[in-house]
Amino acid sequence: MRFKALFISSSVGLGHITRDLYLSGMMKNVDVTWVTAGTALKYLESHREKLHPVSYDLASIGDLIAHLFHKGKLKMTIGDARRIFRAIKANSEIIRDHIDFEKYDCIISDEAWETLFLRDRFNVPSFFITDFLEFKSIGFSMLQRLGYWILNREVHKRLKVMYDHKFYVGFKELDYNPDFKWYGIIPTHKNLEYGFENPVEEDYILINIGGTDAGSYIKDVVSRLLSKHFNIVVIGGSKYFEPDPIKKIIGARLLITLAGYGSLLELIMYRKRGIIIPLGGHFEQIENAKLFMSRSGYRVIDVDDLSSVDLVGMIKELYEEDINPPVFKDGSHAILNDIYSVLTSH
């Protein structure tokens, strides 16, 4: 028996869609139809995946957020927050009006916040995937903290209403939350093994600015500081979009990367030395980068310190160090088993 799944994936960066495509690649007897936008949509097109037409009508939330970064730091006003909120709600209305959810045997969502604005609960089994459990305030304003507390409360209320099963796929198990199962992470990219036998490193440094243009300033500064000393290759963003980046990652002698989910996971999976520069004000990236602090083979740099550090000397030090990456647990098989169990019993 074949099943039909609707997979609604976040348009913010490429970490969501690359892990989702990996998970879908493991699914047997499941025909997946995708809903997403922006660079994530471009990624699926390059892999010739089946796309729901509504994807082409959705605003890219990732692009809206990327425009709020200036010199590598998030600068968001109340007006900006309202624009993003309105875009998410507008996307939700488009999805509601143009998708017949009952045509599918299940709905899988990866941080598709638009689904929380749908009026009615799905009438088929539903699954929600996320790598964080709450939005966090970076500042110390009591008003900001109160705002995030209210936001988190309302988000979790809607998740309980809309989704039958919820998976947390962050790098490490956090405080116990009875509403989410944690089996481990989901690797990125479809049908790829965890590495290649005896990979050949070439003489270049790879700058990876992720799935949006938020890291363009970091790329410009790093390129200026290093171009006279090393061969530089850039991937990521709209200008350097790379649908199959693994060969370039494996071939690099060292990576300079933001601290997004997929980018850091690839550092671990392919055992690459790395300099990690989390975007300023991005709570997820700041938390992710902490996993690599004080580990041999890695350095974490604050974006404010980027122009003042001795990057050339740092890279030469890293070349002499053994790599000690964080250990991660692959939860993809357990997640898939849960999905299959529900589908076959429904």
Are the beta carbons of 60 and 39 closer than 8 angstroms? yes
Rounded average pLDDT over 50-57: 98
User: What are the residue ranges of CATH 3.40.50.2000 in the chain?
Assistant: 3-187+330-345, 205-319
Tokens of 160: 């309980």
For residue range 1-18, list pLDDT tens digits in order: 899 999 999 999 999 999
Strands 298-300 and 274-276: parallel
pLDDT at 202: 87
- Tell me which fold the domain 3-187+330-345 belongs to: Rossmann fold (3.40.50)
User: pLDDT above 70 covers what percent of the chain?
Assistant: 95
Task: Determine the Cα angle at 208 with ends 327 and 9, to 5°.
Answer: 75
pTM: 0.93
How much of the chain is helix, strand and coil, in % rounded to 5?
40, 15, 40
183-192, 265-274, 296-305: the lowest-pLDDT one: 183-192
pLDDT at 149: 81
State the angle between helix axes of 38-46 and 15-26 in degrees (0 to 180), rounded to the nearest 10: 40
pLDDT at 199: 65
Give me the architecture of the 205-319 domain, per CATH.
Answer: 3-Layer(aba) Sandwich (3.40)
pLDDT at 194: 42
Rounded average pLDDT over 227-243: 94
pLDDT at 173: 63
For residue range 92-150, list pLDDT tens digits in order: 999 999 999 999 999 999 999 999 999 889 999 999 999 988 887 766 577 777 777 88
